[in-house]
Structure 1
Amino acid sequence: MKATEAVLQERDMEDSWSLMSWMASCLMVCGGALPYLPQYQDIQRRSNSEGFSTRVCLVLLIANILRIFFWIGKQFELTLLLQSVVMILTMFAMLHICCTVQNTNRVSTKQHRLSDLDIRYFWKWSAFEDYLLFCFGFTVLCAVVTLLLLDSVMFVEALGSLAMMFEAMLGLPQLLQNFHKCSTKGMSVKMVLLWTAGDVFKAAYFVINESPSQFWVCGSVQIIIDVVILLQVLLYSQDTWVKLG
C-alpha cells in the first residue's frame, strides 16, 4: 500500500514538473514579445514614435535571424527557435506602427528609401517594405554562407556567439538614444521593466536547462543594460523636475 502511494506521489510530482516546464517554455516563446506591447500602445495612442529607437528592432532582427541559422547547425531547444520566430514577427509589427505614424505626421514630402543607397538614412526608411526587403536579403546571405560552412564546428559556434552578442545589445540603441537626447520621454518604462524581468527569467532558464554558454552570457549582459536604462529614467526625470523648479 505504501509502495503504491509512493508511486502515485512520484507520478504527481512528475506531472507537476512537466506542467511547470511546459508553462516555462510557453513563457519563453511568447514572453519576449510582451515588453513591446505597452510601447506599441503608447506609439499608437500618441501617434508619435520618436521616443522609441527602431534600431532595437534592427538588433533583434539580426540576432534572431542568426539564431535560427545557429539552430540549424546546433539543434538546441525547440523553444528557443520558436521564440526567435515570434520575436521577428514582433519586430516587424513595431516597425510597421513606427512607419505608419511617421508617414502620417511627415511634413516634408521627402521619402528616404532603401533604393537610395544613402548610408545616412540607413534604417530610417519611410516605407515598411524596405525593412522587409533588407531582412530578406540578409536572410538569403546568411542561408548561403551557412550552407557553405555548415560542416565547420568553428563557424557554427561563431554564428551562435554572434547571434547572442547582438541579442545582448538589444537595449543599447535605446540607451544611446536616451543619452543623446538626455531624456526618456516617449520610451515606455513598462517596456524596460518587462525587459528586465524577462531577462532575469531567461538567464535562469538558460542555466537550469544547461543551454549553450552563449545564451546565459547574453542574458547577463542584457540585465546590466536594462538596469542602466532604468537609472537613466531616474536621472532624467530628476533633471526635469529641477528645470521645472
Structure 2
Amino acid sequence: MTSSDINGEFLATFLSQVFLIFGGVLPYIPQYLDIARGDASGFSTLVCLVLVLANTLRIVYWFGHSFDDALLVQSVIMLLTMFIMLDLCVRVERLRRRSLSLPITERVFTDFKLEDFWAWTNLASYIQVTILIATIASATIFIFLDNSIVVEGIGYAALLTESCLALPQFLKNQRNRSTQGMNVLMVLMWALGDAFKEFFYVWKNQPLPFILCASIQLLMDFLILIQVVIFQ
C-alpha cells in the first residue's frame, strides 16, 4: 500500500468520524428553528427521551465493551443537543401559555408523580433523571463487568432504544392524522444520517447491535416519510 493510499484512507476515516459525531445533530437544527418561532406542538419530546436513554446507556456500555471513540463522542454531543431541545420546548411552552393567559402549573421530577413523567416544566428535572439512569446503569455494569451477558445486554438495550427514535414521532403523526408542525427536513436528514451510520458500522466492523439499530432506524424513517405523503 502506497503512502497516498494510507493518507487517503486516513482522510476518509477522519471525515467519516467527523460526520458521524456532528451529523446526528444536524436534523434537529431545522426543528429547533421551527420551535423557536413559537410552536412546539408538532415535535414529540419523547424523541428526546429515547435519545437521552439510548445515549446514556451507550456511554455506560463503552466501559464494558469499548467501541469506536467517535461513537462515544457522538453520544456525548447528542445528549447535550437533547438538553438544548428540551430547554427550548419548556421555554416555548411557558411563553405560549402566558400569551394565552393560561395558568402554569409547575411540574418537577422530585414530586415523583408518574403522570408528569417527561412533561416537567424545568430542564433540571430532565437532567436529574438522566443522572439517575446513568448511576443505575454504571453501577450495574461495574458490578457485572466480567459478565458478558449483562454487558452486552446493556449494549443491546441502548441501541434497540435508539432504534425506536422515530417511533414517538410516528405515533404522534398517526394519532393526529397529520404531520403538521413536524419538520420534514429533519426526517430526511434522519434517513441520510442513519444510512451513513449503517455504512460506517459495517465498514468499521462495529458490534452487531449497532448494525441492527441503524437498520431499524432506517425503516422507521421511511415509514414517517410515507406518512408525509399520505397526510399531506
User: TM class by shorter-chain length?
Assistant: over 0.9
Residue 4 (structure 1) aligns with: none
2:175 aligned residue (174, 180, 198): 180
- Distance in 1, Cα, partners of 2:111 & 2:66: 39
Q: Are 1:190 and 2:214 an aligned pair? A: no
Q: 2:55 matched to which residue of 1?
A: 64
SS at match of 1:161: helix
* Secondary structure class of the residue paired with 1:184: coil
Task: Give the Cα–Cα distance (whole angstroms) in 2 for the partners of residues 127 and 64 of structure 1.
Answer: 21
Q: How much does 1:117 deviate?
A: 2.0
CA-to-aligned-CA distance 1:192-227 (integer Å, 9 cap, x gap): 000000000000110111100100110000000000
Deviation at 1:122, TM superposition (A): 1.0
Q: Which stretches in structure 1 are left out of the alignment for 5+ residues? A: 1-6, 238-245
Quick one: distance in 1 between partners of 2:145 and 2:48?
Answer: 27
1:21 has 2:16 as partner: no
Q: What amino acid is the match of 2:44?
A: S
TM-score after normalising by structure 2: 0.96
Q: Report the AA paired with residue 77 of structure 1.
A: D
Name the Cα RMSD after superposition: 1.0
Deviation at residue 16 of structure 1 after TM alignment? 1.3
- Of residues 120, 129, 139, the one that matches 2:124 is 129
Shift of 1:115: 2.5
Kept after mapping to 1: 8 A contact 2:60/2:134: no
Q: How many residues align?
A: 228
Q: Confirm or deny that 1:170 pairs with 2:168.
A: no
Q: What is the letter of the counterpart of residue 11 of structure 2?
A: L
2:105 paired with 1:110 = yes
In structure 2, how many angstroms separate the alpha carbons of the residues matched to 1:218 and 1:192?
17
Aligned-partner Cα distance in 2 for 1:79–1:37? 21
If the length of structure 1 is used for normalisation, what is the TM-score?
0.91
Partner of 1:50: 41
Q: How do 1:128-167 residues align onto structure 2 when only pairs under 5 Å count? A: 128-167=123-162
What is the percent sequence identity of the aligned residues? 38
The corresponding residue for 1:41 is: 33
1:203-242 correspondence to structure 2 within 5 Å: 203-237=198-232
Separation (CA, whole Å) in 2 of partners of 1:67 and 1:217? 14
Alignment map for 1:87-102 (pairs within 5 Å):
87-102=78-93
Which ranges of 4 or more aligned residues in structure 1 deviate by more than 3 Å? Answer: none
What is the SS of the residue equivalent to 2:56? Answer: helix
Letter in 2 for 1:214: P
Q: Distance in 2 between matches of 1:109 and 1:27?
A: 40
After superposition, what is the alpha-carbon deviation per residue over 1:8-43, rounded to whole angstroms, capped at 9, x for unaligned? xx2112111111110001001111111001100111
Deviates more, 1:189-198 or 1:10-19: 10-19
Q: Deviations along 1:41-84, whole A, 9 cap, x unmatched?
A: 11112x12110000000001110111111110011111111110
- Looking at structure 2, the residues matched to 105 and 149 of structure 1 have their Cα atoms a distance apart, in angstroms, of 47
Which residue number in structure 1 is paired with residue 73 of structure 2?
A: 82
1:114 offset after TM fit, Å? 1.6
